[in-house]
Structure 1
């Protein structure tokens, strides 16, 4: 299975914040640290906030902070949420399935099972299990 860069950066944001759960992080700060576009990261942070993983505040002293304890955030749930609009294969998409094998395909159920197993395995771990703490300078 391959995750989108959106999900990859979502996980990175959460792991970084889990390493200092009481400290707010700005989008600019994280974008600089990850060497990624600030606009792209702003969308990631907005989605994480909309999903209830982060709280955000504007203005001086603002930024994003974890909205839940790291031990309460299951990795599989995060991945499933961030990948919700990305079908594993065309036939899983709500619209646009043009595969002529779909009506009698015997692979679909196996792929669905594999995808569910992937998420279930990730859900055996929490954000606390992979919190990131950078080395002191």
Structure 2
């Protein structure tokens, strides 16, 4: 399973905003930290604003901030909203599936279960739970660099 860059940027944005709740953050702040395109982040932030997760403040001193408490932001839900599909193989796309093995394929079932398990783990994770630094990560946390940690 591989998440799209869009989902990756969405999660990085949320994590950065969660770590900087004391101030407004600019898209440029996040783009500079992660060395990613400001244009890509603008699309991410726009969608996060539409979903009600992020509040945007316009103007000279504007920026973004979380519109909800990090404990209310479910990572599984965010991933579902940002991923266009979870087609692990051609057979998951009923519109374009040409595989002749599909009717009795056990692999399709196993991949479907694996995807369900992946999302079930993420459903147990909130933004608040991944803002806790890993051992030895405190200096990096102060700089805004964190890693996604999933609870066991």
Q: TM-score range by the shorter chain?
A: 0.7 to 0.9
Cα distance, 1:15 vs structure 2: 0.6
Query: Contact between 2:86 and 2:115, CA under 8 Å: does it hold in 1?
Result: no
The 5 Å alignment of 1:79-94 reads: 79-93=79-93
C-alpha distance in structure 2 between counterparts of 1:44 and 1:87, whole Å = 22
Q: Distance in 2 between matches of 1:89 and 1:134?
A: 40
Q: Which runs of 5+ in 2 are unaligned?
A: 134-140, 145-152
TM-score, length of structure 2 as denominator length: 0.77
Matched, 1:134 2:142: yes
Q: Deviations over 1:34-61 (max 9, x none)?
A: 1111111111212222232212232222
**Mapping of 1:2-41 within 5 angstroms?**
2-41=2-41
Count of equivalent residues: 136
Matched with 2:47 is 47
Aligned pairs for 1:103-122 within 5 A: 103-122=103-122
Tell me the distance in 1 between the aligned counterparts of 2:86 and 2:116. Answer: 14
Higher RCO structure (Cα 8 Å, ≥6 apart): 1
Runs of 5+ consecutive residues of structure 1 not aligned to the other structure: none
Displaced runs of 4+ in structure 1, greater than 4 A?
A: none
TM-score, scaled to structure 1: 0.85
Per the alignment, residue 62 of structure 1 pairs with 62
